[in-house]
Amino acid sequence: MLTVSFPSASSWWDTYEEHGAECYDLSALDSLLDTLRTDLFFFPVDVSVRNQICENLVDLRLELPTTRTFGTLFPHVDTITTTPRSAARPRSLFPKLRSLFITITDATGPAGSWEYASYEYGYNDMDLSAVDGDMADPYYSGFPPSNLQLRDGRNRDHQRDLWRFVASCRSINALYVEATQALRLDELWEVVDEEEQKRGFLRAEHGEHDWTRSGLATLGLCRIDTSVQALLRMIQPNYKAVQDDTKQISPVRRINLDRVKLVPDNTVSDNPGAEKCAWATLYSFLHPERCPALDFLGICYLSYFSTHPDFTYAHRLSEDWASMWTTSDEDWDALSGLFQANPRLAVQGLADRWCLASEVLEVRDL
């Protein structure tokens, strides 16, 4: 396992006149990133030279300051190699990687942490953009950005760099992404689809494992906005062929979702056959018929975007807690149905500790 960890940074707010943010030594940060890029995360120019550390790495943990840092460290994720006997294909920096853990450490600035939301909401006349995590102006937020974000921009502005790196790590079967300002999972699939359209190849055709085609076995997300379609694609095999074969088996074993928000899908009304963007859709998919290996489900503060018809929220954002914020009975019925279908499923988020689905049904009326 290889871990690259940078210190965290946060903003603070005491009074109307006292605001601040922790900052980084930018010259030291840039120097360290340059060293990591050139001496550790590098593609050999000479084919006779090998980067044996990266080539044999199985488990990678990256705790980096901002999303733009991924573009700085991995500017070569789009590198293509060609041979006379094969079509263009990507060079993978981590061909044997199986587990990828990503955390953004700079939590400064507007909407940089869920803990800021109650202040941003209360001091802006109950502005729902604070609930959505869309507060962008430090003046109204009260939480200033660090010197790094002032120089490089907000994490949301450069999230494509992070998703492009994730898309390049096709050999993984376990992924965890923890954001500060909420990131958009749909952008990952925009990157994947653009890559396949541009290059006209699938890695599976070369006999390589490709999680974007087979689905992940382990998925963890924190502070992520997503459509239900993008979320299902993370664990659903051969997504493009699902309409022809709805009985394909997902390899997913463990899912942990923390402060994940579903955004409304405006295409559903135009396409009656499209999946409804609701938590009930995910729970229905997780039944043993589709996901026989699923043995753990973690749910914490799942919710909807404010423009979604099933939106509701905690009016005391820093005090009220729930595993799922929804006005839809279908969501709770689907969750209960999942527990009935898989009573041995380990569940975290509905009690003080993890418990079996059968135990949840005994003590709680969902």
Residue pLDDT, tens place only, 3-61? 999 999 999 887 767 889 999 999 999 999 999 999 999 988 776 778 999 999 999 99
d(CA 113, CA 107): 6
Domain check: are 210 and 229 in the same one? no
d(CA 218, CA 46): 36
Domain check: are 231 and 313 in the same one? yes
Domain that holds residue 158: 1-109+144-214
Confidence of residue 352 (pLDDT cuts 50, 70, 90): low
Hey, what amino acid is at 172?
Answer: I
Domain check: are 313 and 355 in the same one? yes
What is the number of structural domains in the chain? 2
pLDDT at res. 19:
87
d(CA 335, CA 282): 9
How many CB atoms lie under 10 A from the CB of residue 12? 14
Hey, what amino acid is at 145?
Answer: P
Q: Which of 160, 186, 214 is the last residue of a domain?
A: 214
Does any domain span residue 161?
yes
Angle at 110 between CA 30 and CA 71, to 5 degrees: 30
pLDDT at res. 314:
81
d(CA 285, CA 64): 33
DSSP 65: S
Does any domain span residue 126?
no
Domain check: are 38 and 66 in the same one? yes
d(CA 148, CA 157): 13
Domain check: are 233 and 187 in the same one? no
Domain check: are 154 and 208 in the same one? yes
H or E element in which residue 71 lies? helix 68-73
- The model's pLDDT over 85-106, given as tens digits with 9 standing for 90+, comes to 344 445 689 999 999 999 999 9
How many CB atoms lie under 10 A from the CB of residue 51? 16
Does any domain span residue 119?
no
CA distances in angstroms from 25 to 37, 104, 144, 261, listed in the order given? 18, 17, 17, 34
d(CA 56, CA 268): 44
- Tokens read off for 346: 């380990």
Domain check: are 261 and 202 in the same one? no
Domain check: are 31 and 76 in the same one? yes
Domain check: are 78 and 105 in the same one? yes
Which has the minimum average pLDDT: 100-109, 119-128, 292-301?
Answer: 119-128
Burial of residue 226 (CB within 10 Å: 0-12, 13-18, 19+) is buried
Mean pLDDT throughout 170-183? 97
Mean pLDDT throughout 217-241? 90
Q: Which of 194, 214, 234 is the last residue of a domain?
A: 214
Domain check: are 29 and 178 in the same one? yes
Provide the whole-model pTM.
0.90
pLDDT at res. 192:
94
DSSP 265: -
Say whether pLDDT at 338 is over 80: yes
Greater confidence, 339 or 248? 339
Q: Which of 188, 214, 240 is the last residue of a domain?
A: 214
Confidence of residue 312 (pLDDT cuts 50, 70, 90): very high
Say whether pLDDT at 181 is over 80: yes
H or E element in which residue 181 lies? strand 174-184
d(CA 255, CA 252): 8
